[in-house]
Amino acid sequence: MNPKLDNIIMDPSNDKFKDECGVFGVYSNREMDVASMTYYGLYALQHRGQESAGIAVANGEEVNIKKGMGLITEAFSQEDINSLKGFAAIGHVRYSTSGDTRIENAQPLLSQTKLGPIAMAHNGTLVNADVIKELLEDGGHVFHTSIDSEVIANLIARGAKKGIERAVLDAIQAVRGSFAMVILTENKLIGVRDPHGIRPLSSGKIEEGYILTSESCALDAIGAELVRDIDPGEIVVIDENGIKSYRYSENTQCQTCAFEYIYFARPDSIIDGLDVHESRVRAGEQLYRENQIDADVVVAVPDSGIPAAIGYAKASGIPYDTGFVKNRYVGRTFITPSQEVRERAVAVKLNPLKVNVKDRRVILIDDSIVRGTTSKHLVDSLRRAGAKEVHFLVASPVVQYPCYFGIDTPYRKELIGANHSLEEIREIIGCDSLGYLSMEGMYKCFNANQGYCVGCFNGVYPVATPIETER
């Protein structure tokens, strides 16, 4: 195992797939503060990306854009929002899955075309971006960012003389991978979802306006009503005449990323008809059916492990209680501790609640394990707090393969589940027993009427993937 394992701060987010991005769009047929609506929509999607944020607003003549680094509260001032006037807007919160961390890579991307300005925001990753980018560069195009979203933006711009709807259609038929996009022109809002529906996109209604968003929780944040999910292989075009829908791909099957339900999405969202919180509680109930352990208390790794822990406690009859206290004032980054402080295993973000675990047999539940780097610290901290036994249960299958569709994923050599047996992982983590939810059990917690992308569990992906260059 990585020798650095004992030198990290106890922070469960170090042992997770990193969030992708979040997109939001609004179109109104009457005077409405679309910039503020987009701001609060993105605020609700902040968990999907904390690196940068951007908002573009159309007023019928031009598209104005503001972007900034950091959280949305850091990226925008009240003056910024007040300066963005119009009737339609799109927004984006970013976590870098491709490209460097710099303002040039922040979205939306704005292009000047023969049709006028076009802004685009994209959640997902293209697996053939490098090939298309090389062809465009050979044709003389200069790229200004290092993100694959610019490839789509340039394909749309190149075809703009055909009309925006045709340009978007031609562009998305040339790319492969995952994408949920919102596109803004001077007078239209367009939403696109990839043929497999890997990344989520839903539509909503508010008074005389329409909303497009990565998650339904953003609709709740602005008082909008969820209408439906955008289907895989669907384009929706919203303008002064209302909303139109096109199917650009006939061979579609919804294969939503399973990790949206396991970890990424906010628990108060509904994605492709499935309530995220309910699916996580059911995962905990199923986890009990597959891993029945005699213990005194069930605790969770906050916050993402809580619904599954509640489900396990409900199914088992073992009481659920708080096992860790979370410091909610620790930001995304903080001063790196010295070696001396690290060796003292200071729990900066989580600390065991000793009164609830001392002299007790504890079941600790997390939603997933990716690298395994923090799980050992969590178990060790419970033992130091006086737990007699610590049983670690995971409310998802073993992560064995990387993701290529919009998640910052380590190489396979960094995935603990790809390189160690269950018993070896148990020894590394230091728990008394270890159990994962089975693939069959996971499917029981989902909607049986659709498919899911589970490539990180079994190596079978909806789209052909690039070959890993490093193992």
Interval 256-277: pLDDT, tens: 999 999 999 999 999 999 999 9
- Whether 316 is covered by a domain: the verdict is yes
Residue 470's pLDDT band (cuts 50, 70, 90): very low
- Whether 416 is covered by a domain: the verdict is yes
- Whether 102 is covered by a domain: the verdict is yes
456 labelled as ligand-binding? yes
My answer on whether 236 and 287 are in the same domain is no
My answer on whether 242 and 297 are in the same domain is no
My answer on whether 307 and 397 are in the same domain is yes
Helix (H, G, I), strand (E, B) or coil at 50: coil
- Does residue 319 surpass a pLDDT of 70? yes
My answer on whether 208 and 130 are in the same domain is yes
- Whether 201 is covered by a domain: the verdict is yes
Please name the residues in contact with 292: beta carbons below 8 A apart, sequence gap of 6 or more. 316
Q: What is the DSSP letter of 119?
A: E
Q: Are strands 350-352 and 109-113 parallel, antiparallel or unpaired?
A: unpaired
Identity (one letter) of the amino acid at 219?
Answer: L
Give the active site residues: 21
Give the CATH number for residue 230: 3.60.20.10
304 labelled as ligand-binding? yes
Domain span at residue 407 reads 283-327+336-446
366 labelled as ligand-binding? yes
- Whether 391 is covered by a domain: the verdict is yes
Residue 130's pLDDT band (cuts 50, 70, 90): confident
Tell me how many domains the chain contains: 2
Identity (one letter) of the amino acid at 217?
Answer: C
Q: Report the alpha-carbon distance of residue 15 to residue 414 in Å, rounded.
A: 11
According to the model, what pLDDT value does residue 102 have?
75
257 labelled as ligand-binding? yes
Peptide bond into 303 cis (omega under 30): yes
Give the CATH number for residue 392: 3.40.50.2020
Ramachandran bin of 319, using left for φ above 0, alpha for ψ from -120 to 50, beta for the remaining angles: beta
- Whether 188 is covered by a domain: the verdict is yes
- Does residue 14 surpass a pLDDT of 60? no
Beta bridge partners of residue 234, listed in sequence order = 247
My answer on whether 79 and 185 are in the same domain is yes
My answer on whether 297 and 218 are in the same domain is no
217 labelled as ligand-binding? no
My answer on whether 245 and 194 are in the same domain is yes
CA 407 to chain centre: 7
234 vs 4, more confident: 234
7 vs 188, more confident: 188
